[in-house]
Structure 1
Amino acid sequence: MFISVRQWKWWLPLALAIPFFCSCRTYNSAVAPYYQAVSQGRFDEASTQLDKARFFRYGRNKLLFNMEKGKTAFLQGRYHESNLYFNAADSILSGYRGSRILDQTLGLVVNPAMQIYQGEDFERLLIHYYKSVNYLQLHQLEDAEVEARRISLGNYALNDRKKNNDKKYSNDAFSLIVQGIVYESAGDVNNAFISYRNAADIFLKSPDRRYYGVDMPAQLQADLLRTADQLGFQQEVQYYEQQFGRVYHRPADNDGGSVLVFWENGLAPVKAESNFFFTLTERGPGNFVFTDPNSRIFIPFDFNLFPRDSCDRLRRHLEAFRVAFPSYVEQPLYYTAADIQRDSTFSTTLEKVEDVNQLAFRTLQERFLKEMGLALTRLAIKKLAEYEIRKNDEVAGELFNLISLLAEKADTRNWQSLPHSIYYSRIPLKKGDNKITLTLKGKDNTQKVEFNVVGNGRLQTLHYASLQKS
């Protein structure tokens, strides 16, 4: 078939775009060797696989690379190196503003997977958790306090983005608990109390005192009451005793200090691609909505976004659309609970303090309508461009339509080395050596992990990850 010069203007760029858009791999499949290695505890190999993965050579994926590298170094106990990567991730997030308009335009015209990855809201706050623990492990208390103050800034920014909507993820209780732990480790009891109080108030305002899959930890209650008592805030002690339904008993003096144990259990959900089908219908004169086949979802569509002379054409031809949208797939848990013991004289059960799995599913659901509306607008823009091309070249218009269909992909990127959930507990220490035994419990298996912690009269931190899939 003879192709004119005018047609080549469309054929060449579109033909070159086909190999790029035809890939149907999700992020999970693109980094499968890395994910398999980290899930099985082979952290050195996981780090090497990250360096080898072609996926991370694109600038839009640099945030993911630094978050994954930072977490892998954290799991290896390489705390200084871990924070180098997390600091790089912070720089990417703070530097995004300058490219925001161009980046958003690219996502609207092509697909959101082509945009610079900015991280989920909870992912950004978890960077502060890892950096804080890194600094505490390195005994860099001043740096840890700086990071603690940045946790407040992160929560303020989250609250602003969600317009102080208590029905959405607009505060993060876990990050405030971590903030309190940092301040307490640095001897700043007053700021520790404020952090614990702010975290507790988030639970108290929530239905059933449950926040995104987490019941208010008894450890948080104890820490709030203890720090209030240390500061002589007896009115606050009495108030929160009533709120918690418990009586505060001042703990015995402990010359060895205590250790705060974090257990990271399982793996966060991974993103897959789901297809939604919508039809444009008119609901009243001039009111158009996209609705799914079951008429459960209604998304208004504003034709005023487009030039007036294009509206009639869109109304005549804009009928049914397939929209690719991300969906989470939960990863099975190998262990479901854990106890911790000190020298056969003290034992307790670790409490869940952060449910990353719940956060992922629910925050995606919260923004579904907004992002689906953007996706439908993107498809309408492509359809309008197709009509304009067809006016001059029918073949090029057909090819553009094909490429548009191939380019319709969901953004399936997420921070995959995050845990399914995080548990914690505070263990009193005696002066000198303390044998700490962590017992992990599954349906048909148990595992014991032993640590030696030297009691030095201060608050210390300890972490352990059991990320393997069943």
Structure 2
Amino acid sequence: MFLLFKNIKSWAIALLPLVMLTSCATYNQQVQSYYSSLREGDYTKAAKELDKSKLLKKNRNRLLYLLERGKVCHLMGQWDSSNTYFNEADLLMETARTSAKDIALGNLLNPMMQTYKAEDFEKYLVHYYKAINYLQLGETDDALVEARRISLRTYAQEDKVGNKDKYKDDAFSLMVQGIIYEKGGDVNNAFISYRNAANVFLDNQGKYYGIDIPEQLKKDLLRTADQNGFMDELGRYERLLNTTYQKEEKPAGGELILFWENGSAPVKAQQDIWFSLFKDAGGAFFFTDANNSFTVPFDFSSGYSRDNIKLEDLRSFRVALPKYEAVAPAYTGAAALAGSQSFKLEPAEDVNNLAFATLKERMLKELSSTLTRLAIKKLAEAAIRPSDKKDNDKSKTEEQRKKEKKEEAAREAIALGLQIFNFASEKADTRNWQSLPHTIYYARIPLQAGENQINLQLSGRASASVPVKVNGRGGMQVMTVNTIR
């Protein structure tokens, strides 16, 4: 038995570096071949990499696969196929429930083993992509359904969050909703959507998750107020937005709403922080890290009794937490040149900012549950381990002492095995929808009747010109340009 214990200990020490290496592999690293193909613009290869990914074939990652596959089809102009994937993803998000199995996997292993349910801003963007796909297919009625579902998503998010200081409304989605209603000829609902979007900015001092209220949104709100004959609202928002409405003639060829999806969303990585458990003068237990950056109370709602907590058992333990790492885009601005006119594309959705901010908003809650989960694991290790107290009972026979030593060695081996398992299984959830852009920009461009040649001039660390051809046939058209570099 002693030989067995020594072998287990030697094996554990030898295995530890390998365990650390494998347990720290992030989702991005595990799907790097797909991500590289995507950034290189080889969408056909990216689709093949997705289809052969063993990780994404797992049921818990089904939603991620659908989101990525839907976006790749969108990038290839396969609008119908894209929505086939997005519709299934949408259904999964709508019917998602936290099962007992998921809770057990999260507590015993790590949140990476749970079913992926999508970030809140990812859920909004599914509606955006579905609507764009429908508009490209000429299916305006289906796009209008997505417009209405944006409202339902907003209500659900407001119910979930409640706190006005957290992400609950998506101003970009409301702007897209207004555009869809306009495309469908529903100017009244378009006005309501633009007004709701403007109110989100106004309620946040004119800036919402890295985006200043777009000048185009101001124009759209005032124009639709005028078209509906809402003169009181027109005057009210002229004052609130500090602008004056300038009525413009309808262009002969209609208008182009041009969305520019630029760069790549941030990827999730893992950060390791060491915590200890302390008890204050009032008897309350709390966790703190070495830098005192976090002070988190022990969550006794987990069912663990404070009477069973020994501080010496929780002197130091590692917590794996997700963090975002930004991917700097090559381009940071764009202007659309149409004839002698130039139209600056305005930022409408800063996905990069949203990702960092929303993770920060929920970090304390996640940290509390993670720390309590890991503390219980550490206490379980300590409970198995034999006591350090010396046995001075002289009445025991030599045979009894040998038997107890064997039992102690076995318990130590089990505790060590549990420690290795806990260390190896501790992993942050580093999954996210990685084909999303860094930032979405947009502009409303008047068209001449007939063929229009528009050049999208990109600037930043690099520069480029992207030609956009569109036939001005009256009414509104919607197009997207993607630059993933």
| TM-score between the two structures when normalised by the length of structure 1 | 0.92
Partner of 1:160: 159
* Conserved? CA contact 2:60–2:113, under 8 Å: yes
DSSP 3-state at the match of 2:243 = coil
In structure 1, C-alpha distance between the alignment counterparts of 2:301 and 2:253, rounded to whole Å: 69
Partner of 2:366: 371
- Which of 372, 377, 390 does residue 382 from structure 1 map onto? 377
Instruction: Give CA-to-partner distance per residue, 1:301-334, whole Å, 9 cap, x none.
Output: 14464444x7334444222221000111111110
Partner of 2:88: 88
Please tell me the residue identity of whatever aligns with 1:85.
Answer: Y
DSSP 3-state at the match of 1:434 = strand
* Conserved? CA contact 1:217–1:351, under 8 Å: yes
Partner of 1:188: 186
* Conserved? CA contact 1:21–1:407, under 8 Å: no
Shift of 1:203: 0.2
- Which of 330, 341, 346 does residue 346 from structure 1 map onto? 341
Instruction: Give CA-to-partner distance per residue, 1:158-215, whole Å, 9 cap, x none.
Output: 111111x2211111100111111111111111111111100000000103x1100000
DSSP 3-state at the match of 1:294 = coil
- Which of 244, 251, 256 does residue 254 from structure 1 map onto? 251
**CA spacing shift, 1:354–1:282, aligned 2, 3 Å:** same
Instruction: Give CA-to-partner distance per residue, 1:90-142, whole Å, 9 cap, x none.
Output: 12112222x43431232122111011011111011111110010011111011
* Conserved? CA contact 1:219–1:425, under 8 Å: yes
In structure 1, C-alpha distance between the alignment counterparts of 2:293 and 2:96, rounded to whole Å: 36
Partner of 1:463: 480
1:361 aligns with 2:378: no
In structure 2, C-alpha distance between the alignment counterparts of 1:21 and 1:380, rounded to whole Å: 23
1:429 aligns with 2:425: no
In structure 2, C-alpha distance between the alignment counterparts of 1:105 and 1:174, rounded to whole Å: 37
RMSD: 2.1
* Conserved? CA contact 1:109–1:381, under 8 Å: no
Of the structure 1 ranges 252-261 and 353-362, higher mean CA displacement relative to structure 2 is found in: 252-261
**CA spacing shift, 1:225–1:341, aligned 2, 3 Å:** same
Partner of 2:419: 401
Please tell me the residue identity of whatever aligns with 2:56.
Answer: F
* Conserved? CA contact 1:70–1:82, under 8 Å: yes
In structure 2, C-alpha distance between the alignment counterparts of 1:44 and 1:457, rounded to whole Å: 34
Partner of 2:200: 202
1:276 aligns with 2:263: no
DSSP 3-state at the match of 1:227 = helix
Shift of 1:20: 12
Partner of 1:59: 59
- Which of 450, 455, 463 does residue 446 from structure 1 map onto? 463
DSSP 3-state at the match of 2:259 = strand
In structure 2, C-alpha distance between the alignment counterparts of 1:328 and 1:284, rounded to whole Å: 37
Instruction: Give CA-to-partner distance per residue, 1:262-316, whole Å, 9 cap, x none.
Output: 00111111111101111111122211110111222110114464444x7334444
**CA spacing shift, 1:348–1:22, aligned 2, 3 Å:** closer
In structure 2, C-alpha distance between the alignment counterparts of 1:62 and 1:341, rounded to whole Å: 42
- Which of 403, 408, 419 does residue 437 from structure 2 map onto? 419
DSSP 3-state at the match of 2:455 = strand
In structure 2, C-alpha distance between the alignment counterparts of 1:244 and 1:195, rounded to whole Å: 16
Please tell me the residue identity of whatever aligns with 2:313.
Answer: H
In structure 2, C-alpha distance between the alignment counterparts of 1:117 and 1:404, rounded to whole Å: 22
Partner of 1:47: 47
In structure 1, C-alpha distance between the alignment counterparts of 2:143 and 2:334, rounded to whole Å: 28
Please tell me the residue identity of whatever aligns with 1:375.
Answer: T
* Conserved? CA contact 1:339–1:439, under 8 Å: yes
In structure 2, C-alpha distance between the alignment counterparts of 1:155 and 1:167, rounded to whole Å: 15
Q: Which runs of 5+ in 2 are unaligned?
A: 387-406
DSSP 3-state at the match of 1:180 = helix
**CA spacing shift, 1:216–1:416, aligned 2, 3 Å:** same
Of the structure 1 ranges 296-305 and 44-53, higher mean CA displacement relative to structure 2 is found in: 296-305
Question: Which structure would you say has the larger Rg?
Answer: 2
Partner of 2:394: none
1:331 aligns with 2:349: no
**CA spacing shift, 1:304–1:230, aligned 2, 3 Å:** closer
In structure 2, C-alpha distance between the alignment counterparts of 1:112 and 1:467, rounded to whole Å: 29
The count of corresponding residues between Structure 1 and Structure 2 is: 452
Shift of 1:153: 1.0
DSSP 3-state at the match of 2:343 = strand
In structure 2, C-alpha distance between the alignment counterparts of 1:447 and 1:414, rounded to whole Å: 29
* Conserved? CA contact 1:225–1:248, under 8 Å: yes
In structure 1, C-alpha distance between the alignment counterparts of 2:180 and 2:299, rounded to whole Å: 49
In structure 2, C-alpha distance between the alignment counterparts of 1:253 and 1:356, rounded to whole Å: 33
In structure 2, C-alpha distance between the alignment counterparts of 1:254 and 1:307, rounded to whole Å: 69
* Conserved? CA contact 1:108–1:374, under 8 Å: no
* Conserved? CA contact 2:194–2:220, under 8 Å: yes
Please tell me the residue identity of whatever aligns with 1:130.
Answer: Y
Please tell me the residue identity of whatever aligns with 1:65.
Answer: Y
In structure 2, C-alpha distance between the alignment counterparts of 1:319 and 1:20, rounded to whole Å: 21
* Conserved? CA contact 2:23–2:426, under 8 Å: no
DSSP 3-state at the match of 1:132 = helix
Map 1:243-322; keep pairs closer than 5 Å: 243-303=240-300, 305-308=302-305, 311-322=307-318
* Conserved? CA contact 2:272–2:320, under 8 Å: yes
In structure 2, C-alpha distance between the alignment counterparts of 1:307 and 1:262, rounded to whole Å: 52
DSSP 3-state at the match of 1:422 = strand
Please tell me the residue identity of whatever aligns with 2:188.
Answer: N
| TM-score between the two structures when normalised by the length of structure 2 | 0.89
* Conserved? CA contact 2:67–2:89, under 8 Å: yes
Between the two proteins, what is the percent identity of the paired residues?
48
Shift of 1:383: 2.0
Please tell me the residue identity of whatever aligns with 1:397.
Answer: A
* Conserved? CA contact 2:140–2:184, under 8 Å: yes
**CA spacing shift, 1:153–1:101, aligned 2, 3 Å:** farther
Instruction: Give CA-to-partner distance per residue, 1:349-379, whole Å, 9 cap, x none.
Output: 0000000000011111111110011110110
